[in-house]
Every structure is written in structure tokens, then in C-alpha cells.
Amino acid sequence: MTTISFTYLPGDGIGPEVGAAALHVLDAIAERFQHALDVDEHLIGGAAIDAGLKPLPAETLGSCRRSGAILLGAVGGPKWDHLKGADRPELGALLPLRKELNLYANIRPAKPHPALIDKAPLKAEYLEGVDFVVMRELTGGIYFGKKGVDNLGAYDECRYSEAEVRRIAIKAFDLAKGRKQKVTSVDKSNVLETSRLWRRVVEEVAADYPDVELDHLLVDAMTMHMLTRGQDFDVVLTENMFGDILTDEASVLCGSMGVIPSASLSDGTTGLYEPIHGSAPDIAGQGKANPLAMILSAAWMVRLSFGLEKEAAAIETAVDAALYGGHVTADLGGSLSTSEVGDWIARHVKAPHVS
């Protein structure tokens, strides 16, 4: 028996709803494979602010450090838009959590599910055969640089060290070795000094991986090529802000942001797992939220932080069955509620041969 011990952060908006569905599926995994669940739930973001706490309470951070595995729903919303700087849910919770846990490598997949190809806004010919991941550097760059406002305007500093670039590049090349053995590094080296550093260090790392092909693309060109020749990519390596933009663009290839998980990793087994979508406060509490990305994020957690490959595959197989069978929420053409999708997938996990 393995104890799956993790910190659960429901967060804001639809976070608690999709989180509850994911926990239900994890309960099913524990029952089928005879594991124990140890869930330590804490407040974060706007929910913490509403409780009179900081966006990232000390108790929450302490639990995340102890467990080393975090399942996060969503953070933020317009309710807290009047707050400034680190008092905001995102700036005061997500960024320091990434920094404190050294979660420097964010991985997001772009692999259209066959059942969703007809729901994407692009023609099928642009989607069939697409299977790449974006490896985004998550703790450096413009989001973490010096910021300020003066009598001339405002500024945000973008800074990268060689060490920061090298460690994320190694992650990307290691990942590519087990995939299609290709890394595409995305930068803006024709303009930015940080990108010229980025390109030089990536090429140095590439020399240690002779079996992995490396090419470079400027970020503005990548925004086009990602949608018109997505089949050409394997591991897309890029810096923080470019990665933030490109991963949302990549969601167009998948038909819905509601089916895309993400993992933010440090060294070893420390990781934070969350859907790429936001808190969607306009549909919160209505049972309309699609929980598949959160459920798939839970699958990534049991695989990457606990080494439970069969359990992760069981969750992913159940999600596949839900998509093929139309046991989904209205945004994907189904008629089930958030909790009903979680119930269906949990039943399939426990009895995979029963539809």
C-alpha cells in the first residue's frame, strides 16, 4: 500500500467544484489499487483573502513544503481586481509559491484528443498528428524582475542567469530523449539580450545530447507555426512570459482549455499540478465547469510525484472513455454536471469494463 499524501488547494471560482471531482476520482484510485489518501486541504488566493489571511498563508506554504505534492484548483477573479501588487490572489499566491518551492519547470501538453478534433476552431488537417509539450521556465524572467512606477512611467525588468536557462534546458532535453528527440527553443534573440543568452546556453546544453535535434524559432514566428504545422514539434522550450502566451495558444489545438492539465516541477518529486484554465467565476457554483483538466492533473500528480504509473493510466483511460462516450459537460457537447462527470469517471476507474 502507498499513501498518496498531498496538499489540496481548492482556490477560487470553479476551483472547489473541479477539485471535488478530482478528489472523488482519487478516492476511486485508492479503493481499486488499495492505497491510502492523505489530503491536507488549505486556503489560497481570493479564498484566503476573504478569510482575512494573506493570499498565500504561512500554513498553506508549510503544508506544500511538507508534502511536496500540490493539487490546485484555480486562483483569482475580478472580485479581487481592486487589490494591488502582492495583495492580489495571483501575484500574492502563485508567484511566491512557485519561487518558494523552486517550481521552475512548467509542462503543458498539446495533443488533440480524437473525440474533440471537430470541436477545435481549426481544420482537422492542422490537428491530426499533433503531439508536443511546452516546457516553460517558471521562476525567472519578467514576472520576477524588479518592478516599479516613477514619474516617467512604469517598468518591469526581465533578467535570466545562465544557471536558470541551463537547468530548464536540461529538463527539456531529458524529456525529448523519451519522446520524438527534438527540442524547439523559442526566443526573441533578434531583439532581446536575455534571449541571446538563452540561445547560447541552450546550444551548449544541446551539445551533451547528440541524439536530440535542436532548432530555434523567434516567438512571433512560433505563434504562426504552432497553429499551421503543429505536427513538426516535440518539446517546445521557452522562457516565462513567452511560455505563458504560447501555452494558451496551444489550447486551441486541443479543442478546449477544459481538458489540459499542467505540472510545475522542481528537482526530484516536488510538483504542483493544476488545470490551465482560470477560476471562471461567471459559472462558479452552477455545476457547469468541466473537471477533466483537473482530473488529468491529478493523474499527473500520482505519476510524477508518487511514481504510480498504472494508477495514472487508469485515470487517463477513464477520461478517454468519458470523451468517446460523451459523458461530459455542456461545453464539450454533453449534458452532465461537474460532479456527474467526476462520478462517471470514478465508476469507470473502479470498474473499467462497465460503461
Give SS3 for 212: coil
d(CA 237, CA 313): 26
Q: Does residue 301 contact residue 2 with C-beta atoms inside 8 Å?
A: no
Q: How far apart are the first and last CA of the chain?
A: 28
Single-letter amino acid, residue 325:
G
Radius of gyration of the chain (CA): 20
- At 309, give phi and psi (nearest 5°): -70, -45
**Residue 90 gets which letter from DSSP?**
I
> What is the distance, to the nearest Å, from the Cα of residue 302 to the centroid of all Cα atoms in its chain?
15
Q: How far is CA 80 from the centre of its chain?
A: 23
Is there a contact between 17 and 289 (Cβ–Cβ < 8 Å)? yes
Is residue 12 a contact partner of residue 47, using CB atoms and an 8 Å limit? yes
Write phi, then psi, for 167 (nearest 5 degrees). -70, -35
Lookup result for grid cell 546556453: 201
Cell of 93: 499566491
| Among 41, 49, 40, CA closest to 12 | 49
DSSP secondary structure letter of residue 292: H
| β partners of residue 133 | 109, 235
Question: Any idea which residues carry the catalytic annotation?
Answer: 143, 188, 220, 244, 248
Contacts of residue 45, defined as CB under 8 A and 6 or more positions apart, other chains included, come to: 11, 12, 55, 74, 75, 76, 89, 90, 93, 94
